[in-house]
């Protein structure tokens, strides 16, 4: 197994958490998104992943080597091919709710705030650094507040998003909170999310996956 990753990429962070929760050994290849004009734009990496995005994941399955992209697809693949320590429950309704939670992050919050969008705002549209950061905080706080309300509505006090063991939703939530904190978002109205974050950051699988603990961290 080989994961092409950038230490601060929240999508890569998700996959690292999932791999660690499943106890899978993997090799990391660092793709720096800023240095050298963005190593994800190199011809060598674009041959591997034409989208020029991290993560990319290489694994052997069915006697063949496969290159997988998009963090959600990679994590679902891991859960299907390596069923130990399942990240999703067996019940289809519960699975749908958990996927919806994760998709809110992967499709609603993250895309409008990832690196290439922020670079476009400043370098092409000419917005100031303060305006860019205000953009980030607005969309991140809006999206996370909805997730806080969803979990509050369940009336449960689980340690993690959907139970007392970490799973699929937590793989998505924790990297997004890390990004929110890096951009100094106001998370004071999200006590449930912050409680889950505290539990996760004390878990060995999450500690190992943290950006600061990656070999390419700087």
Pairing of strands 27-30, 2-5: parallel
High-pLDDT (> 70) share of the chain, %: 100
- Nearest Cα to Cα of residue 17 among 155, 170, 121, 120: 170
Domain with CATH 3.40.30.10 in the chain: 2-85
Q: What is the pLDDT of residues 63-101, one digit of tens each?
A: 999 999 999 999 999 999 999 999 999 999 999 999 999
DSSP one-letter code for 113: G
Q: To which residue do tokens 């999310």 refer?
A: 193
DSSP H or E stretch at residue 56: strand 56-61
pLDDT of 218 higher than 80: no
Yes or no: say if 180 and 187 are a contact pair by the CB < 8 Å rule: yes
Q: Which fold has domain 92-205?
A: Glutathione S-transferase Yfyf (Class Pi); Chain A, domain 2 (1.20.1050)
Q: Which fold has domain 2-85?
A: Glutaredoxin (3.40.30)
Domain with CATH 1.20.1050.10 in the chain: 92-205
Q: State residue 217's pLDDT score.
A: 86
**Rounded distance, CA 75 to CA 11, Å?**
10
Q: State residue 105's pLDDT score.
A: 98
């Amino acid at each position: 197994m080989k994961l092409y990753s950038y230490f601060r990429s929240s999508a890569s962070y998700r996959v690292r958490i999932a791999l660690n929760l499943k106890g899978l050994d993997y090799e990391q290849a660092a793709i720096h998104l800023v240095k050298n004009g963005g190593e994800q734009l190199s011809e060598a990496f674009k041959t591997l992943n034409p989208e020029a995005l991290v993560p990319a994941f290489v694994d052997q399955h069915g006697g063949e080597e496969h290159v997988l992209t998009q963090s959600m697809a990679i994590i679902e693949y891991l859960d299907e091919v390596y069923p130990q320590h399942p990240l999703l429950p067996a019940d289809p309704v519960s699975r749908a709710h958990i996927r919806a939670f994760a998709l809110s992050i992967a499709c609603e919050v993250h895309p409008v705030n990832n690196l290439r969008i922020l670079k476009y705002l400043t370098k092409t549209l000419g917005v100031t650094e303060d305006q860019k950061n205000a953009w980030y905080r607005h969309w991140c706080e809006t999206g996370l507040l909805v997730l806080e309300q969803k979990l509050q509505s369940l009336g449960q006090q689980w340690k993690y998003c959907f139970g007392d063991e970490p799973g699929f939703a937590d793989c998505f939530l924790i990297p997004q909170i890390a990004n929110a904190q890096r951009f100094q978002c106001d998370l004071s109205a999200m006590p449930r999310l912050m409680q889950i974050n505290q539990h996760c950051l004390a878990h060995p699988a999450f500690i190992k996956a943290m950006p600061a603990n990656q070999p390419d961290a700087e």
